[in-house]
Amino acid sequence: MTDAPQPPDDRSPVLESPAAGASAGDRIARRGARVLLVDDSSPDAPLVLMVRGHDPHEEGRSFWFTPGGGLEAHETMRAAAVRELAEETGWVLEEHELAGPVWRRTAIFDFASRPYVQYEEIFVGRLADAEQRQRTAEEWTEVERETIDAVQWMTAADLRNTPIEVFPAELRGGWDAFLAWEGDTIDLGEVAE
């Protein structure tokens, strides 16, 4: 378990101050929640559902990332995680079906020519617990419609070998920390992406 300082309110979508070590500057500070949706049924290797996106202001920059996004007003991390998973992928979980958070991090990144600092919690969900429903383009925000290219099941080997960026980068390594999660949240610290 980590002793890293926590933002004051789990329901606050905006950080009151920048993350430790982050420049306040003009960065957009927000809280975010992500889901590692795991399919354990493959006889060869477990799969994780990933989203492929691109930066509309950086031609040629594509990346794989976990379903998730920023919190809405008065929303908890778990509520945001299941909402974003359903909106982006069509897979529906209940909040109590999430394990974790398994990872916690502060991501410093630029997207669409805007600088962000995002405090994130990353949860694990199991495909066996999920229900699939039709996803509609109307559920996606304008930015998601413009920047999401694919939603795909991937193995650890797929993510290790992809030529594009992977967020969080830890998905390129071993998956034991979240596949066999033992209850301790791992603080990944501050990462520049």
The CATH number for 83's domain is 3.90.79.10
Q: Is residue 2 part of a domain?
A: no
Segment 120-128 shows an average pLDDT of 98
What is the count of structural domains for the chain?
1
Using the structure block, give the residue that is written with the tokens 């969080």. 168
Q: Is residue 122 part of a domain?
A: yes
Q: Is residue 132 part of a domain?
A: yes
Segment 43-48 shows an average pLDDT of 92
Q: Is the pLDDT assigned to residue 111 strictly greater than 90?
A: no
Lowest-confidence segment of 19-28, 51-60, 91-100, 126-135 by average pLDDT: 19-28
Residue type, 8: P
pLDDT above 90: percentage of residues in the chain: 66
pLDDT digits (tens, 9 = 90+) for 19-38: 333 444 688 999 999 999 99
Q: Is residue 7 part of a domain?
A: no
User: In which domain, by residue range, is 73 found?
Assistant: 35-192
Amino acid 18: pLDDT: 38
Amino acid 137: pLDDT: 61
Q: Is residue 27 part of a domain?
A: no
For residue 131, the tally of other CB atoms under 10 A from its CB is: 10
Q: How is residue 66 written in tokens?
A: 């976990």
Q: Is residue 107 part of a domain?
A: yes
The two beta strands, 99-111 and 148-154, are unpaired
Residue closest to 50 by CA, chosen among 60, 59, 62, 41: 62
Q: Is the pLDDT assigned to residue 7 strictly greater than 90?
A: no
Mean predicted lDDT score pLDDT of the chain:
86
Q: Is residue 89 part of a domain?
A: yes
Alpha helices in 123-186 (DSSP H): 142-147, 156-161, 176-179
**Which segment, 2-6, 51-55, 133-137, is predicted with the most confidence on average?**
51-55
Burial of 29 (0-12, 13-18, 19+ CB in 10 A): buried
Amino acid 113: pLDDT: 84
175: Cβ contacts below 8 Å, ≥ 6 apart: 46, 48, 156
Which one has a higher pLDDT value, 162 or 61? 162
Q: How far apart are CA 19 and CA 187, in angstroms?
A: 13
pLDDT digits (tens, 9 = 90+) for 130-155: 999 876 666 777 777 777 889 999 99
Q: At residue 116, what are phi and psi to the nearest 5 degrees? A: -125, 155
Q: Is residue 28 part of a domain?
A: no
